[in-house]
Amino acid sequence: MPTKARKRWAEKLQTIKCLTIALSCAIVGLSRGAYYYQPKLQDDSMIISILNTIIDQHLRWGFPKCFNRIRKLGYKWN
């Protein structure tokens, strides 16, 4: 079951049954960290395009070198 659905169920339990966040998350099987998580980027196309430009220039580089280059360019994605 997707996390979004469980989060909606937990929110419904909080409003209908007046439960705490911790208890409603435990009932639906969702961690509180997953409940509070907010994604930073909605679209990964920017990351993909920057990574593709790096890969086009340096075909033999692995992920660690590409990651370090992205950091040197000033992007702080995790």
Residue-level pLDDT at 64: 95
What is the structure's pLDDT at 10?
96
Q: Check residue 41 and give its pLDDT.
A: 66
Mean pLDDT by 10 residues, the chain (78 residues): 92 95 96 90 85 95 94 86
Domains contained in the chain, number: 2
Residues 48 and 78 placed together within one structural domain of the fold: yes
Angle, CA of 59, 60 and 61, to the nearest 5° = 100
Residue 42: per-residue pLDDT: 73
Structural domain boundaries, residue 31: 3-36
Same domain, 32 and 61: no
Query: Do 30 and 47 fall within a single domain?
Result: no
State the distance between the two ends of the chain, measured CA to CA, in whole angstroms: 26
Same domain, 73 and 48: yes
User: Which tokens sit at 21?
Assistant: 């966040």
Q: Looking at residue 19, what is its pLDDT?
A: 95
Q: What is the pLDDT of residue 44?
A: 83
From CA 58, how far away is CA 24, in angstroms rounded? 49
Task: Mark whether 21 and 45 lie in a shared domain.
Answer: no
